[in-house]
Chains A and B, each alone.
Chain A
Amino acid sequence: MYKLRPILKTYYDSLEDGKVLGMKCTDCGDVVWPPLPTCQKCGGYNLDWYDMGDEAVIDEIRYEDSSVGGDYTFRKANDYFVDKSPYCICVGHFPRGTEQFHAALYGVTEENKDELISQLPLKAKVKFIQLDGGFKSVGFEIKK
């Protein structure tokens, strides 16, 4: 039987406690982040909460000149971020995860981007992003 339980609330609550949760399928072992109640690999619904750890591997860095404004359709998606510090987009994966993801990545600048890109893949710490709606989301930050 499908277990009716809070997925989103559990996830966002745990971010407040400094923990990034994914879900692991007990049938096939696939790990999904962010968490979903249905296994993306086998379609089963027997998934348990799974600690993703506090570090990810960054595979690609998509540096964007933040002075480039975009028009009303295409623009940065940090409308609700409390801290408007510049960031770029990365493709990464959790060492304990299955799939690559897109995420916000802090710590990349015009000055260090070429060096960082030449060092890929790189480790990055989870960075909790404060949203003005009173909750957090997950980004990453390159270790100094």
Chain B
Amino acid sequence: MKQQFTRPVSVVGTSTLGQRYFDDPEYEGLSIYELWACACHQAMDDAGVKPKDIDKIVYSQFANFVTAGNAMAMVGSLEEWAGVAGKPITHIEQACASGYIAFTEACNAVASGKADIVLCAGVETPKHFNARNQPAYMIQPISKYDGWWSPGRVLFDTTYYRFDGVSDNLLTEEQGKYYQKHYGISEETLDETYNAMAVNLRRNASRNPRACERKEYTEIAKENGYDDVMDYMRSDHNPKITQYIRKSGSVLHNVAAGAIIVCSEEMAKKLNKKAVTVIDHASSSNTQRHPYCFHQMNVDVRDALYKNQPDLKGDDLDLMVTTVMTSGEQLDSAEVFGYLPEGKGYQYELDGRTCFDGDTPINPHGGDLSFGHAFGAAGINMISEAILQMRGEAGGCQVPKPVNTCLVRGMGGGHTTVGILLENQQ
């Protein structure tokens, strides 16, 4: 692929901190600040750089006001915890697209020539918060938050969209409606497809120690007396939470931090690290006013990315990593970007071809449904998983073929979609 920056940009470091819950014993006594420091240092160690080498930080967090003690602009403290106090830092808040946007802004800072080495990092705790009158390690479940916090509603502003009664689940469900309408797939087939997708993603996650939920559905099914996992997936153990989406097809929220080191190509050569080249990025934002807005953002981003890559078809990519807030998103995005054939992608899910060891792997790390999803950190974690795959360092969920080209496609808030093309060129 042809890289699109005036100054070439490489990724030379990533964190590998897992997705966990604050209720896990291994996270006893920790706060988001320790996780942040850990992720930042993992990425710097991996890149072989020290805090003094960092020229700029781009940091992503979405719900800091609610979950971090009603704090805003925590930039100074976060810098101190990572040893980069005094450096320029930019905070990105664009819901669950924050991490992807932070990455693209980190790339832009390097591409502009203004910075040689940029630390791009995020942290988020969707299900716990610390109260405004207590230190950050004293955390409580989000249900105890004594203020208004509804992740499904904060994403809609107070001009019109918070008050029109259009719920986000119906919008994510549009992808199912769109699929049925255009390709004549029955609701039953779609249900089977979504269930197969959940089983496939969990199978991937079961081999990834960084994933949050690692018990395979086949095992869970057996424990509940089902020999056939698909019978279990169709059962009341896995109820529908919207018309199409079952519990297994809905995003998993957990705490996470993540960090990536981006630098110029010359700097990557000096560091003598296995560098992944950032080819290009694009994004599109929209509102729920537009029917099929999720689908349309995929189309917009595909067009923006692919117009600069005349030979790229999508199905020639080695890997696709894509946000899957609900089941339909994986299928829609994979088809829009041409990674799976239009209207036929469902069969790939049913046949297990999208598993990490299939011929068209998608989300080998387990995806948001099983790997987990930490709001503003999610994008960085997803890009990290792509980088690990491209280096052949993903461990048990490593795609068993060379992964030299990868599309990372992320979505947040129902209003921003990002596409990032990566390639091993060195």
Contacts and interface: CB of A to CB of B under 8 A. Distances in A.
B166 A77 contact: yes
Given A70-B242, A73-B251, A78 B165 contact: yes
B289 A77 contact: no
Interface residues of B, number: 35
B150 interface: yes
Contact residues on A (Cβ < 8 Å of other chain), bracket: 35 or more
Interface in B234-251: 240-243, 245, 247, 250-251
Contact of B243 (A68, A77, A139): A68
A96 interface: no
Interface in B148-200: 150-153, 156, 159-160, 162-174, 177
Interface stretch (A49-57, A97-105, A118-126): A97-105
B165 A87 contact: yes
B167 to A, nearest CB: 4
B114 interface: no
Interface string A103-118: 1100000000000000
B270 interface: no
A50 B304 CA distance: 34
Interface string A74-86: 1111111100000
B151 A80 contact: no
Interface in A1-52: 8, 34
A70 B253 CA distance: 15
Contact of A137 (B160, B169, B172, B290): B160
Contacts of A63: 243
Contact of B165 (A69, A71, A81): A81
Given A100-B290, A102-B171, A74 B250 contact: yes
Given A63-B243, A68-B243, A104-B165, 17 more contacts: A62-B243, A69-B241, A70-B241, A73-B151, A73-B168, A76-B165, A77-B164, A77-B167, A78-B165, A80-B163, A102-B291, A103-B164, A131-B163, A135-B163, A137-B160, A137-B163, A137-B165
25 contacts: A8-B159, A34-B159, A62-B170, A64-B243, A70-B241, A71-B250, A73-B151, A73-B250, A73-B253, A74-B250, A74-B326, A76-B167, A77-B162, A77-B165, A77-B166, A79-B150, A79-B153, A80-B162, A99-B290, A100-B291, A101-B290, A129-B165, A137-B164, A137-B165, A139-B164
Interface of B: 150-153, 156, 159-160, 162-174, 177, 240-243, 245, 247, 250-251, 253, 288-291, 326
